[in-house]
Amino acid sequence: MTKADEEKPAPITIKKYANRRLYNTATSSYVTLDHLAGLVKEGADFVVYDAKTGEDITRSVLTQIIVEEESKGGQNLLPISFLRQLIAFYGDSMQWAVPRYLEHSMQAFSSNQERMRDYMKNSLAPMGGMPAMFPFGAALEEMAKQNMALFDRAFQVFSPYSPPASGSAAPQRPASTGNPAEDALNMLQSRLDELQQKIDKLSK
């Protein structure tokens, strides 16, 4: 155990009872999903257990929080296209790579929050009567490159085959659409297609 682990406080224990009520053992009080959402935003760590079986149900409770937040007007963070793509990966041979990629992507996005806020602020500032969207677009494109690099590293950890030998041709990058967000999705789809083809060859 590292020194950082020793200094890190133990997760708060939340118990969920059969009546769906959530009990915070640290404060000896019943709490709501909104309260747990607040704890997440404050950076507090907690684990939720089924009071009867002792099963760790943290994942399902966090999913419930997301569903609650998405149901609030104007709070949607998950695009329908993303949800469809995510559902399509269940049972797919590339399913194992998705959690690692999403985790690294969110970590990269979180570490750049302040920078992104600055870009957003600048993009909304008048510039000759036109919004200065170019700096924000550049930030999205840079983040897309970082995410693809993280995905490559994550894939190499679990890759069932050896990486290409040095000197081999690099994969072709999809043509730019002029939309950084769309370019990022196209880059990811291209890489996933490439990996899928290699996995298919191995399974033959």
pLDDT means per 10 residues, the chain with 204 residues, are 62 93 95 95 94 96 93 83 92 88 82 70 54 50 61 53 47 63 64 66 61
Of 20, 41, 71, the one marking the end of a domain is 71
- One domain, residues 87 and 156: yes
- One domain, residues 58 and 136: no
- One domain, residues 117 and 173: yes
**Which domain covers residue 197, as residue numbers?**
80-203
- One domain, residues 43 and 105: no
What total number of domains does the chain contain?
2
Of 71, 95, 130, the one marking the end of a domain is 71
- One domain, residues 98 and 136: yes
* pLDDT for the residue 168: 47
Of 24, 47, 71, the one marking the end of a domain is 71
- One domain, residues 130 and 195: yes
- One domain, residues 57 and 142: no
* pLDDT for the residue 115: 72
- One domain, residues 67 and 93: no
HEC readout, the chain: CCHHHHHCCCCEEEEECCCCCEEECCCCEEECHHHHHHHHHHCCCEEEEECCCCCECHHHHHHHHHHHHHHCCCCCCCCHHHHHHHHHHCCCCCCCHHHHHHHHHHHHHHHCHHHHHHHHHHHCCEECCEECCHHHHHHHHHHHHHHHHHHHHHHHHHCCCCCCCCCCCCCCCCCCCCCHHHHHHHHHHHHHHHHHHHHHHHHC
- One domain, residues 124 and 197: yes
* pLDDT for the residue 143: 61
* pLDDT for the residue 183: 63
- One domain, residues 62 and 106: no
- One domain, residues 92 and 186: yes
- One domain, residues 102 and 163: yes
Tokens matching residue 39: 């704890």
* pLDDT for the residue 152: 60
